[in-house]
Amino acid sequence: MSAAGVLDRINVEIGDTVFKEGEAGDRAYIVQEGCIEIVKDRAGTPVVLGTIEKGGIFGEMALIDNQPRMASARAAAPSTIVVVGRDVFTQKISRCDPFIRGLLGIFVRNLRTVTQDHAR
């Protein structure tokens, strides 16, 4: 976050990669405008797992469980995305009840397991 409290924004064009499967994740993103596809490589073939549209967040799982990105993210349309760095995310999540933080960890672990099983 800048001194003025404004989060960074990135503009991406159709087909631009935001992050790649397997990379370390140090930020999450919010779609301000446009559409982002979440893509998993399945034996060399990209498979779209879902799309994130205006107001949606993606990339947060790596911030919750410190695991590598489980899929890639690419622009399906010209898009503006807001960058939420690890520091901002950690600050926000630290204000949550410990029970809720624990639930988030469980949800992410379960989602990773289901996605990995489905990708096989």
Looking at residue 97, what DSSP letter applies? -
Both tokens assigned to 44: 């060399």
Instruction: Kindly give, in sequence order, each residue whose CB lies less than 8 Å from that of residue 116, ignoring residues fewer than 6 positions away.
Output: 70
Dist. CA 40–CA 44, nearest whole Å: 9
Please tell me the predicted confidence (pLDDT) of residue 2: 38
- What is the model's pTM? 0.81
What is the set of domains in the chain, with CATH numbers? 9-119 (2.60.120.10)
Residue 79's pLDDT band (boundaries 50, 70, 90)?
very high
pLDDT 10s digits, 10-45: 999 999 999 999 999 999 999 999 999 999 988 889
Contact 30, 55 (CB under 8 A): yes
φ and ψ at residue 95, rounded to 5 degrees: -80, -10
